[in-house]
């Protein structure tokens, strides 16, 4: 009874979020965020979002090697192919609260980000660690 259970929901198709941020310099940024869920069956619609993107956030689960491999082997090439040149891209290792299950070392994320000229950060949305920085 004293044990809590985390519920993980899967995005189906595309999820959409709108968020407005005020930066420390007072400027305001309006973000339209499309979560294309990384599922292969939605790859054809992703290309539409790539072409219109002004920035990209590539998120992998540090405790799930496959999620990192898909970013490296699929999303990095697609971004080069379809996105506008020189948009800001952040490679984000998520779920650092699951350190005991880590499969992707921080150095591997840093190395991929450096190779692709992306920014890099690790975070935990569950514990709200580094989320505001992102």
Enumerate the domain spans of the chain: 15-122
Which pLDDT score, from 0 to 100, does residue 115 have? 97
What number of H helices and E strands is found in the chain? 4, 5
Alpha-carbon distance of 1 to 44, in angstroms, equals 45
Domain 15-122 falls in which CATH fold?
Answer: Rossmann fold (3.40.50)
Which pLDDT score, from 0 to 100, does residue 40 have? 60
C-beta atoms surrounding 21 within 10 Å = 10
pTM of the model: 0.79
Alpha-carbon distance of 50 to 55, in angstroms, equals 9
What is the per-residue pLDDT across 21-80, written as a single tens digit (0 to 9) for each? 888 899 888 777 777 665 566 667 677 777 888 888 899 999 999 999 999 998 899 888
Alpha-carbon distance of 109 to 111, in angstroms, equals 5
Alpha-carbon distance of 92 to 121, in angstroms, equals 5
């Amino acid at each position: 009874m004293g044990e809590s259970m985390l519920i993980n929901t899967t995005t189906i198709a595309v999820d959409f979020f709108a968020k407005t941020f005020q930066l420390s310099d007072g400027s305001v940024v309006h973000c339209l965020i499309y979560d294309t869920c990384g599922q292969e069956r939605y790859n054809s619609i992703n290309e539409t979002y790539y072409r219109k993107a002004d920035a990209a956030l590539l998120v992998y689960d540090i405790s799930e090697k496959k999620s990192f491999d898909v970013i490296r082997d699929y999303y990095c090439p697609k971004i080069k192919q379809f996105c506008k040149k020189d948009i800001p891209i952040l490679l984000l290792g998520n779920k650092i609260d699951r350190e005991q299950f880590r499969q992707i070392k921080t150095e591997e994320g840093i190395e991929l980000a450096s190779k692709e000229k992306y920014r890099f950060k690790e975070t935990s949305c569950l514990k709200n660690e580094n989320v505001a920085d992102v």
